[in-house]
Structure 1
């Protein structure tokens, strides 16, 4: 007998032959029955090779199917032997190995009938994975068939990729602007451009069982310059009204804190209200749901349950805890129980600006200019100029190089806009706070302010001071950074020590790169202007040496949504306020 594994036609089960005996020409085998865990005697004539009865690859899938079906049956029967009264299916069949806190989030989310939660883990802990696990679990239980993901534009492609990679789920990234063309194709002779039809049952969203849309592309409009009321109604019909009528089972909203509004007139909050009522299951994702604004947080929580959070007084710790699932980095552990992140120590290093009088003069002059401009803009009710003045104060504390580059751009804009006056539109102002400092600056630096005939002279005077400060030598903060790098290299006894340096503005980043490379410290740079897929500027740098900390280094980079396979010891990221990250 070639293989010990046979198939018993008597017991209709796979079995393993332990031994065999032959008497008077008849062979009898002692076999172990897999499904009964018993040893019996079976005539050899009643045994068949498994391959002759069932193909091994099919048998593998059959066993997996039976195992999964048994677990499903255990769940449906409410078996008391299941952990916490239920078995989690999603972690077993997904391509991702969940971390303990992600399994906890999944277990809690599906523990009750109402799957309406705020997933509020800190940044980098995998809220997208948690949402995907909840979606898969609900699908495996037959509770969800249609899923909608609403996300900021910058995260849309990431959602498509992660759902496909980790969960084998195909999502359509839908541009609502293309739905008009789809309607023209599907309803020839019935579609009328710029008109809204409230009597038709046609809904293009029904074509997408799993869709991803960007937040601001589907929020309803109340007005837009140059648009008639009828055109706005037609716009809202396709992008908002039909969307919330799409018969969704599960809706996931990433960066959901953007939907928290102080009044019911906020477009994003209206969208949130519509989505909250459009599906029985709702997941809101946000690492910063409160942001110090109690009224906005109450509005956000009311999307999960308006009866539980009717007003500010209802937002209590005990009540909120029933709807929020949150894990902090300091409490996150691996499957082995070890801390997931290294402990972080934060220190503030003071600098003495008096060592560079030219830099002090520049700082004071810019401060006076900002105060005057800010007060004037508030009086004249020009919010875009208010924002610009605040940014200029932040830039001058970043570096003399950054303020000089900004003032040069401002002067050029003023010269080019003498005849053409521009300002920020309503939509730009609404989205302004979601942008980082550099993006805000790029938007505002070209905006002119009618009546500011003296601004060009003021900018020219500040430019002279900025150039003088640069000529006087490196900024005090830059010298302090250099000293800190040398100190850390000495403490770690590693002249190739890897460091992350965060800056808020790109000119400061460029200045630091030049300064450090001139002193023998190689750098790589990441900012919004670099292609995230190609990262050509980073790939030209080679690792001086590969060490045992490389895996941790790559992990830290991945959490910043940048995967960099080749780098040198120092990497600068333009993603936040100025400072050094150890």
Structure 2
């Protein structure tokens, strides 16, 4: 131990002694403060020390080498080498986040990260298609910022139904434990706070419901304490429309954007909904120059605008990913099919009867406003009729008992993306003042008869036929999306009666978000599963691990909602080779015929020609008039036709579709990313991931570690079965806290079947095993009830021609970025020395590989002790070689940082890498040639 040192002399990466134990200095968060981590501990154990308040002065410390009485086997040596590598979370390479990621990104997913690295203030609009991986792209930027110590707090703002998904994704994929802040949870979080404290001051990582935080009473106070890094999911819901909630959300984002140094990531699959003003508001949050488009006659202004936009906007479509990036294998093959059916008998007549009734009501309506409300009421009621007899019955009863309100009808009728989907799957009241109660009751009686004969419904029969085909012939696991609650419940009951061997679950807006998630997750235990849901699941819960087919039981009147439904299953991470998307519609249905003519056909034509799914035009009057007109034209009863003058509604709507198509075409060139070369960086990323430990290292370490704990993995074909509930108590409790209980089938490669859980280096099982093994070796008292790994050993081998000493090392580096910020980086490696020389003949991966060569025999205990004691006397002589290697690695790492900077076209930013010496000798192993 060295003499006491003054606090100011301690630098990042130094070893110190305080409070009776050794620590590594992680940084200096303030004057007189040091952030330190126990020498044998993990990042979770880090604390901040106020040096002036310590009873005993902080002193310099040295790392103790292995001892002759810390002997263990070759397996222990290999486990310690892997545990050290897998437990390190402060990588020295240019991508600091790589050590924390629980997902292997594709090349195209690096683009937003590279774009962010070019910007001093990270403000991006990530507008990739549904299912491409916007959450992963945003999470990588967030993780990188945290690991570079550029931020220490963040908030994710999202619709309430996405809060739990974000919390889960951050934990599983980015090793970040965030707190959910919703209306239901805020009160419990506020309980016990000190006076003057807020949730966001106490909890640095939060996922916040937009609906909770947008209110007038909370908006301003949140803006004052808001973290320096904010992600906004479904950002388009904050800028469009005329609803009060939208205005409140945009007012909140405006406040947050006013702070010029705040980092802001906006995520949406639909950045431009056809409303140019809403689009301009969205872009204005990124940079003032983008608040309004350039004067098109000024060529220079247009070019400046384009360049500015390219700095802050990234948008890729599925065809871009497959064709331009060569990533077709990242997604399953999409199998889209139409499934038409023909209405017959009472089911067909009922639609005509309801339409005729509604036409009579609309004909009696007074004035333009009354007529519009009558049309909306008719369309809303007909949607329910076209959905199912159960939905029609509910809507008719609601109509009998309640008056229609335009504000309530509009989001249900036009499937507004600004509404909470859980609030729009109830059948609406559609009544006007001029109702004929007797006629309405007659329709209710007819609907009751159809409900009783639901098994004969041609629509249900078509669904049953396709579900039979998908499950039996294709081995598919389908999700059936319905528009209304009563439809979903009726369909679920019918399918359960038909498919008795399957577990059929129904999820609707009647359930809370927590209940919905629990029902979906419970299906994991049922290999043969069918899910019936309303659009409360079209966003919020990713389903790709459990399902590989989507059936649209009801046509949606907003094309983007079909895309959102498909995107729950057909997305990055789907392991099935094919994903089915089936569209059921009545070829002679009045309702479906109108939707196909006015919306579906036009949308599909635009998508085919541009590759873009465009939303329904926002002019609700034109849409409703065109739908009403088409519905009357599809009617088989002549008296229902020609009763109203719709003017040029169809032409107006066609013009708006044409505008949407033109904008989609412009967007294909407007947002093209340039000057980024992720292919130059991807090899560097892979080298870094390999250095930290890839699937092979993760798999072998996990198998060996559990075998040492006498809890071996069970083989099941190409995969493994792990028994979480059978772990030692110290591990079992921590795994249970991460919801890992019972028995699970796992694998270590990235591409796995849906029923096999991926276990990577940051998976809780691997992370806890690695931390426990590494900590136990350095501090045996920390692993109560477990046998710690030894740090030294010797064995006979045919892999060495001469007596060989292998030193397992932990290198520490000080990274200084642009002269402003100093970071600690660590790397696990090894050097191998032949007998009689102090020059290493094998370094890094080559030296570690010597530990993997199977021993040919054991040595007597006395011989092992003699070899270790002799090798310990040579450690001092190895120090020059260790220092030289550390300096070479520092130079290589500096070059790696420069290479990434060049690939991102970064200017000015520099990273200096300096080794902190002496390096830590973690393990010492002697390989004795078999000939000796």
Equivalence for 1:125:
132
SS in 1 for 2:291: coil
Distance 1:346 1:370, change over 3 A: farther
Give the C-alpha shift of residue 306 in structure 1.
Answer: 2.5
Equivalence for 1:225:
none
Alpha-carbon contact 1:377-1:383 (below 8 Å) kept: no
Give the C-alpha shift of residue 255 in structure 1.
Answer: 0.8
Alpha-carbon contact 2:127-2:314 (below 8 Å) kept: yes
Equivalence for 2:287:
305
Give TM-score, length-normalised by structure 2: 0.42
Pairing partner for 1:367 from 348, 355, 369? 355
Equivalence for 1:16:
none
Distance 1:317 1:53, change over 3 A: farther
Cα separation, 1, equivalents of 2:273 and 2:128 = 14
Pairs within 5 Å for 1:488-499: 488=469, 494=473, 498-499=477-478
Equivalence for 2:313:
324
Distance 1:499 1:147, change over 3 A: closer
Equivalence for 2:581:
581
Pairs within 5 Å for 1:6-17: none
Alpha-carbon contact 1:298-1:312 (below 8 Å) kept: no
Give the C-alpha shift of residue 70 in structure 1.
Answer: 4.3
User: Which ranges in structure 2 are unaligned for 5 or more consecutive residues?
Assistant: 1-63, 71-76, 297-301, 530-536, 563-579, 583-932
Per-residue CA deviations over 1:228-264 (Å, capped at 9, x if unaligned) read xxxxxxx2xxx11121122532111011111113689
Cα separation, 1, equivalents of 2:476 and 2:264 = 45
Equivalence for 2:151:
144
Equivalence for 1:78:
none
Give the C-alpha shift of residue 525 in structure 1.
Answer: 3.1
Pairing partner for 2:257 from 276, 280, 284? 276
Give the C-alpha shift of residue 508 in structure 1.
Answer: 2.9
Equivalence for 1:398:
387
Cα separation, 2, equivalents of 1:431 and 1:478 = 23
SS in 2 for 1:104: helix
Give the C-alpha shift of residue 148 in structure 1.
Answer: 1.7
**Relative contact order (C-alpha < 8 Å, sep 6+): which is higher?**
2
Distance 1:378 1:181, change over 3 A: farther
SS in 2 for 1:339: helix
Equivalence for 1:527:
507
Equivalence for 1:408:
397
Cα separation, 1, equivalents of 2:352 and 2:251 = 44
Distance 1:312 1:458, change over 3 A: farther
Give the C-alpha shift of residue 111 in structure 1.
Answer: 2.8
Give the C-alpha shift of residue 297 in structure 1.
Answer: 1.7
Report how many residues are paired.
Answer: 465
Give the C-alpha shift of residue 424 in structure 1.
Answer: 6.7
SS in 1 for 2:132: coil
User: Which ranges in structure 1 are unaligned for 5 or more consecutive residues?
Assistant: 1-48, 72-86, 189-201, 222-234, 546-555
Equivalence for 1:170:
177
Alpha-carbon contact 1:377-1:386 (below 8 Å) kept: no
Equivalence for 1:244:
223
> Mean alpha-carbon deviation: is it higher for 394-403 or for 462-471?
462-471
Give the C-alpha shift of residue 272 in structure 1.
Answer: 1.8
Cα separation, 1, equivalents of 2:329 and 2:95 = 24
Cα separation, 1, equivalents of 2:231 and 2:367 = 39
Alpha-carbon contact 1:432-1:440 (below 8 Å) kept: no
Equivalence for 1:294:
276
Pairing partner for 2:109 from 77, 90, 102? 102
Pairing partner for 1:340 from 330, 342, 352? 330
Equivalence for 1:358:
346
SS in 2 for 1:461: helix
4+ aligned runs moved over 6 Å, structure 1: 53-67, 262-265, 312-318, 333-336, 381-386, 421-432, 556-559, 569-576
Cα separation, 2, equivalents of 1:110 and 1:183 = 39
SS in 2 for 1:145: coil
Per-residue CA deviations over 1:387-419 (Å, capped at 9, x if unaligned) read 6543222222223343124323444x44xx9xx
Distance 1:259 1:337, change over 3 A: closer
Cα separation, 2, equivalents of 1:204 and 1:541 = 37
Pairing partner for 2:213 from 196, 218, 230? 218
Cα separation, 2, equivalents of 1:153 and 1:168 = 22
Cα separation, 1, equivalents of 2:274 and 2:541 = 24
Give the C-alpha shift of residue 152 in structure 1.
Answer: 0.8
Give TM-score, length-normalised by structure 1: 0.64
Alpha-carbon contact 2:391-2:487 (below 8 Å) kept: yes
Q: Is 1:206 matched up with 2:188?
A: no
Pairs within 5 Å for 1:514-553: 514-516=493-495, 524-528=504-508, 529=510, 531-535=515-519, 539=523, 542-543=526-527
CA RMSD between the two structures: 5.1
